[in-house]
Amino acid sequence: MEIKAEVLEKIDAKGVSRRDFIKYATVVTSVLGLAPSMVPKVAEAMAIKKRPTVIWLHFAECTGCSEAFIRSTYPWIDQIVLDVLNVAYHETIMAPSGHNAEKSLNDAMKEYDGKYILVCEGGIPTKNDGIYGKVGGHTMLDIAKKATKHALATICVGNCACFGGVQAAAPNPTKAMSVSKATGTKTVNIAGCPPNAVNMVATVVHFLLLGKLPALDDNGRPLFAYGYTIHEKCPRRAHYENGEFVKKFGDKGAMKGYCLAEMGCKGPNTYNNCPIVKFNDGTNWPIGAGHPCIGCSEPNFWDTQSPFYEPI
């Protein structure tokens, strides 16, 4: 694994240790499903000098996806913000409010017109011309239309931006919908409620590395993370095959980590890499914590996968 000297120099200039940098380049490479020989290429993409500009917009959402994003450890969030990306607008972390915040958005959209990566978090309320969600006096619908039009690419993080999310669940009081549907834009959908930080980072790196979006499934989800079901890779799969099931929470089967199918697990319906990468740096995941999967990376899962405790 040879990494070019000029790449290493760029890393040094960023004040990141080479060891840390190569470590996270390696993790991102594996999440993308690329061969280890690609690590130098990934490192190169992540070390480019002018940091690519990201505009991150919040619509109808809960900020859980931003929270998930700041749990990233490969790279750490301070490295992402200071070294890897130019996060020109992100309401949860930015210093200014009001007019100065709007200025940050307008300046970035002007300076990087057609070149910025737009990240959207949240669904778009569209009923009554979108009056149910406003930022700086503009409806989210108008903001989304304008921002997607001038973006190099639009990445939706979380089920709300990808598919409308919880506010779009029946009866969908505000006629909330996905960014793609509300604006007529093709988007990459990092699905989940919230998605795993690893999958967000890997998508951005894929884009920086290859200059194009990753291969997607019919729902716009990158195949590298959403190419198989939870059930296919579930560590409790053997119990399923053996007919060993949890019958009620806290029972002997639950203590032994048996299959949760009878408790309503939606793993067989759900495409995501949770069983492999888990959450919070591999600490745990819902099935690990003895709770059935609720199918949170599937379109409209609040309606299609519920009631959550009824078996499929």
3-state secondary structure of 209: helix
Residues 140-159 that bind another protein (CB under 8 A): none
CB of 286 to another protein, least distance (A): 4
Interaction between residue 60 and another protein (CB under 8 A): yes
The DSSP 8-state label assigned to residue 51 in this structure reads P
- Out of 146, 186, 247, 284, the residue judged to bind another protein by CB under 8 A: 284
Q: Regarding beta strands 176-177 and 124-125, do their DSSP bridges make them parallel or antiparallel, or are they unpaired?
A: antiparallel
Closest CA to 28 of 224, 233, 270: 224
Contact segment (CB under 8 A) with another protein among 22-30, 35-43, 48-56, 208-216 equals: 48-56
- Out of 28, 125, 207, 214, the residue judged to bind another protein by CB under 8 A: 125
Interaction between residue 61 and another protein (CB under 8 A): yes
91: phi then psi, degrees, rounded to nearest 5: -60, -25
Contact segment (CB under 8 A) with another protein among 2-10, 60-68, 204-212, 217-225 equals: 60-68
Interaction between residue 8 and another protein (CB under 8 A): no
Size of the site for another protein (CB under 8 A): 94
Interaction between residue 227 and another protein (CB under 8 A): no
Sign of CA dihedral 59, 162, 33, 289: positive
First to last CA, the chain: 46
Cross-strand pairs, 259:
245
Closest CA to 209 of 15, 76, 34: 34
On the 0-12 / 13-18 / 19+ scale of CB atoms within 10 A, 100 is exposed
Residues 27-46 that bind another protein (CB under 8 A): none
String of contacts with another protein for each residue 181-220, x by CB under 8 A: ------------xx--------------------------
